[in-house]
Amino acid sequence: MILFLTFVAATLGITFWASRQTKTAADYYAGGRSFSGVQNGLAIGGDYMSAASFLGIAGIIALSGYDGFLYSIGFLVAWLVALLLVAELMRNSGKFTMADVLAFRMSPRPVRTAAGVSTIVVSIFYLLAQMVGAGALVGLLLGITGDAGKAWTIVGVGALMIVYVVFGGMKGTTWVQIVKAVLLMGGAALVTVLVLANFGFNLSALLGQAATVSGPEANPQSFLSPGLKYGTEAQGLAGKIDLISLGLALVLGTAGLPHILIRFYTVPTAKDARKSVLWGIGIIGVFYLLTLVLGFGAAALVGREAIAAGDAAGNTAAPMLAQQIGQEMFGAVGGTILLALIGAVAFATILAVVAGLTLASSSSFAHDLYAHVFRRGQASERQEVVVARISAFVIGAVAIGLGILAQGQNVAFLVALAFAVAASGNLPAILYSLFWKRFNTAGAVSAIYGGLVSALLLVIFSPVVSGSETALIKTADFAWFPLSNPGIISIPLGFLCGWIGTVLSKEYNAAKYAEIEVRSLTGVGMEKASKH
């Protein structure tokens, strides 16, 4: 509790300091574009390495072996798409939100409406995962086993998150993310080294014990082979397709995540945007290699049954591993201290990510929907920031409510759904806008709504919501779509809708495309855009 409270007090102090520095809309939305490439790279790592990465992936590897590690690979490879296709071009073309890029060469009101709705939906999906992780984590640390206790935990985390965003804005959120990235890397590296030391730094010995302790009795070695979670005999072909669908969502989703996209606007130049993504990839790459040891270490030392008993979705595997390895290496006190340390780091992870997500969605509501759609560009900067702060309360409340409903789901799995929605709706519109000369308003609106609605409908009628043991609604069964992840259908559909909408519309502005092409490739005109 002391470690917990120390961290919360430190981050609240950062938020209070940042609130004194936040005077303009550029300060609130983009941190005054004052962060260096290295600082923003750390913040990107802090924003991206969420509860899904730390708690969810470690848990899914501990429960499903090889199939769980595919999450780590997917989350990491996704950054190549963001680096090569999106980061620098978005930084040069936009101002505060994803919609700025789309609205530049198209009719702004319908495009901003669609982009704002999509941003809020994706952010709430992602927030859902962080809230579930918070409930599981604090429940473990405080010995809370009942759903009601975990629900109050989720309410507490949501309240803290709202405070960070309302008062700190982007400046406070970024510094919290930088601190959290350093803590998370340090904590994960410490546990990884201790686990490897326990096995004489022999990875084969670690994997062998993980298979023996946590693999199926009939064939323990299957724990180290594909097919334990996806592609089992019971699932048949649907399981294999589900795996491909998951991979598509993970690899393409990052470049469409609103809270990642706004990070490119916090640096002063395109060169810094590139540098920040390279630093982010380095930090994230090392971290996802560590999740391999964390997940299989939990399977070897804690055991699949004990992890599932603590949390059915495996979200507490990493803290349980920290306690176990601490006890084995340093005794009971060492185990308690290491559990508290990793718990505080995981809590830091959740707070930093939820702050980034809430900021992205509240910024989009205020800047895109309120200022440009409802007020038709007539709102002052001060009014925008006030509305952003109010919408942070509303979005936080929605996330808290849905987080309470989604208890029992694995957080990495929930984040994969957010990735699928982002890749289906946002990514087609962004790529078409940056690279297709003929793209127009009808195409942008069709791409966003087509991808978004299809992804949401397929999730609603999938085993995620009903008809399975881990469904959100366990008492009903209206699941006619057999896959847990909709990406393989909804992502191509988003691109197809964008193409159809474009070719059916006669709208075309060659001059505007030429201007955004020059701006996205060179940055010329960006300074002018930042002032308006």
DSSP state of 312: T
For residue 500, what pLDDT is reported? Answer: 96
Residue 526 confidence class, pLDDT cut points 50, 70, 90: low
For residue 532, what pLDDT is reported? Answer: 40
Q: 262: closest CA among 96, 425, 39, 434?
A: 96
Dist CA 60 CA 322 (whole Å):
16
Dist CA 147 CA 35 (whole Å):
41
Q: What angle do CA 188, 139, 347 make, to 5 degrees?
A: 40
Percent of the chain whose pLDDT exceeds 90: 21
For residue 506, what pLDDT is reported? Answer: 85
Q: Where do we find the tokens 């699949």?
A: 304
Residue 232 confidence class, pLDDT cut points 50, 70, 90: low
pLDDT exceeds 90 at position 234: no
Dist CA 352 CA 174 (whole Å):
8
pLDDT exceeds 90 at position 200: yes
For residue 529, what pLDDT is reported? Answer: 45
pLDDT digits (tens, 9 = 90+) for 250-309: 899 888 888 787 777 777 777 787 788 888 889 988 998 999 999 999 999 999 899 988
For residue 429, what pLDDT is reported? Answer: 92
CB-based contact 516:453 (threshold 8 Å): no
For residue 31, what pLDDT is reported? Answer: 60
For residue 531, what pLDDT is reported? Answer: 43
- Quick one: tokens of 397? 């409340």
pLDDT digits (tens, 9 = 90+) for 140-180: 777 777 778 878 878 887 887 777 777 777 777 788 888 88
Dist CA 22 CA 360 (whole Å):
16
Amino acid at 279: W
pLDDT digits (tens, 9 = 90+) for 354-409: 777 888 888 888 888 888 888 887 888 788 888 888 888 888 888 888 888 777 67
Q: Is the pTM of this model over 0.85?
A: no
Dist CA 136 CA 150 (whole Å):
7
Lowest mean pLDDT among 116-130, 196-210, 226-240, 472-486: 226-240
Region 184-212: mean pLDDT is 93
Name the β-bridge partners of 473: 466
Dist CA 282 CA 104 (whole Å):
33
For residue 458, what pLDDT is reported? Answer: 92
Cα dihedral 65, 70, 73, 79 in deg (nearest 10): -140
pLDDT exceeds 90 at position 78: no
Contacts of 114 (CB under 8 A, 6+ apart): 429, 444, 445, 448, 449
- Quick one: tokens of 488? 């393989």
Dist CA 283 CA 44 (whole Å):
9
Q: Where do we find the tokens 């930088």?
A: 178
pLDDT digits (tens, 9 = 90+) for 438-473: 899 999 999 999 999 999 999 889 888 887 777 777
For residue 30, what pLDDT is reported? Answer: 59
DSSP string, 424-475: HHHHHHHHHHHH-TT--HHHHHHHHHHHHHHHHHHHHTSTTTBSSTT-SBTT
Dist CA 177 CA 195 (whole Å):
26
For residue 377, what pLDDT is reported? Answer: 78
Residue 518 confidence class, pLDDT cut points 50, 70, 90: confident
Region 187-199: mean pLDDT is 94
For residue 28, what pLDDT is reported? Answer: 67
Identify which of 56-65, 120-129, 292-301 has the greatest average pLDDT.
292-301
Residue 306 CB neighbour total at 10 angstroms: 17
pLDDT exceeds 80 at position 136: no
Residue 530 confidence class, pLDDT cut points 50, 70, 90: very low
What is the overall mean pLDDT for the chain? 83
For residue 180, what pLDDT is reported? Answer: 83
Q: How far is CA 158 from CA 66, 261, 286, 462, 478, in A?
A: 33, 23, 29, 28, 31
pLDDT exceeds 80 at position 11: no
DSSP string, 185-250: HHHHHHHHHHHHHHTTT-HHHHHHHHHHHHS-SS-GGGGGSTTSSSS-TTTTHHHHHHHHHHHHHH
Identify the sign of the CA torsion 282, 288, 289, 293.
positive
Q: How far is CA 446 from CA 194, 223, 442, 459, in A?
A: 51, 43, 6, 20
Percent of the chain whose pLDDT exceeds 70: 92
Q: 214: closest CA among 307, 291, 140, 289?
A: 307
- Quick one: tokens of 383? 């009014």
DSSP state of 377: T
